[in-house]
Structure 1
Amino acid sequence: MEKMAERKVTLLLEADEAERLGILNGDYINVLHSGSGQYSLEVDMAKRTGTESTSDKPFNFETSETRRFIMHLCNGDESSFQWVMNWLAVFYQTRKRCPLALCFHGVQSSGKSIFYECILSDLYYGKAVIYDDDALAYFRISRVKEIALFYLPDLPRSGRDRNHIKELITSDSVMCWEKYREDKRCMVIGNVFITTNSPREEVEEAIGVHRVMPIKTGPALRQAGFDPFWLIKALKVEHNDFKEYLLQFPIDLELYDKHPAMAVQS
């Protein structure tokens, strides 16, 4: 496995911001120079995150900040954690679509958007889009066939948008249109990821019980002992090694293709 590339991060912070983050200490920071009320700081991410920068101690997912963060998003539930890991690994290894949308629902600031920004967007080959208020634009062009991940930062509210999302999850193609051209159906290769502060019942009502895997997150990051600032840095440091780990992860296609509740009933 290749050596992690980024191990030190240089930051330019205002003095009060540095003090607020509690990082002005010799354990993790070298103050390179200061002036005009600013600090130029070199952050040793290996010390801060507990990971080693030397090649003789390779990346260990079990003790990584990435694992700790994903487990937090699963509220410490091992079965949910394994489902998410399988969801990530199957697409990364095979590019096979999942018939279920993954939805993290929970309190604000629990890290849901960080999961998209620091983990998902790159895993999906840079072909991820945010499906927001301008979502219908993606149905106006055939570019939908190039999108690998549709990210909804909240539940769709209108019946029309809900139907579009349901079609994205379950259908092999969706109807698209372009100006001055005839409507046509375009193949869909992308998975759907949803985040919301709404409860599980609202998620299942909006998307459909058997179209979504709703997972309740843990509490807000700071309440759970995370510093969001350092978490983002740690996830970036570990990201290349995490991708290598996913390539070796033993995938379960049966789990991927069927809702766990349906699997129990069958």
Structure 2
Amino acid sequence: MSRHVDLHLRRRGIRRGRRALSARRPVRNTVPLTVLANLRAGMPVKDPHFGWWTSGGEVRGAVFHTPPHPVGLFAVPVEAVSPLIEALDGDLPELVGPVEVTSEAVRLLGEPSRVVSERLYRLERLTVPDVPGRGRLAVPGDFPLLVSWYHAFGAEVGMGEADVAEQVARRLSGRELFLWEDEGAPVSLAALSPACGGVCRIGPVYTPPSRRRRGYGAAVTAYAARTGLAEHCEQVVLFTDLANPTSNSVYRSIGYRPVCDYAHLTYAG
């Protein structure tokens, strides 16, 4: 049985990759499915890379890289990690994937300079928290606030991006951004991706430091999830940083349950 990693540097492989991922664990493949959907919709990305792990002539796994984000190993079997590293000449400065896959990468590449442990949650039964205020869809007039909150979120998690204004504008026009208001003022933000394979993903969720510990993050997350389920998705998922026990506890309290764990590894910088 021949096995190889087939690397594609052109977008013509997007349709093939999406077909391969849609039929296999749409919850676990929420990130690559969303990336492929965005590219098909025309979202500009500089030099995207795609690869497939084939076995017996069939696609068994997929890898992608859309700079400046890490190489995504969400749909890569453990046995494909070694040939992938070889195909890329060991050039994986940053990668993210399930812990069993990233553990194999660490075994082959050595210890990374930074590790962020994450957990994927799926909503089972929504419990709407009793929090003052109301949720609403973000509107163009919220643009300056949304951009500032996106920048603040990126600074907190160490993932600042140069195209924040463009990203916010795109998500605003796609009706993907939600706010929680209390006493008429926005106090928390949640974004909800379009459905891919029937799955919507929440993130980011951001509450300014002065507004925290009042339940606003849970409230806006529940509002976004309820809106998505009512309008266009069958399941709702989100990622959390395992180093933040507060957010993990909050999401469990409103009905999210663990699916699997991931690791974000950095070898450069």
TM over 0.5: no
Larger radius of gyration: 1
- What band does the TM-score fall into relative to the shorter chain? under 0.3
Higher strand proportion (structure 1 or 2): 2
Higher relative contact order, chain-length normalized (CA < 8 Å, sep 6+): 1
When you count helix as a share of all residues, which structure comes out higher? 1
Q: TM-score normalized by structure 2?
A: 0.28
Normalised to the residue count of structure 1, the TM-score between the two structures is: 0.28
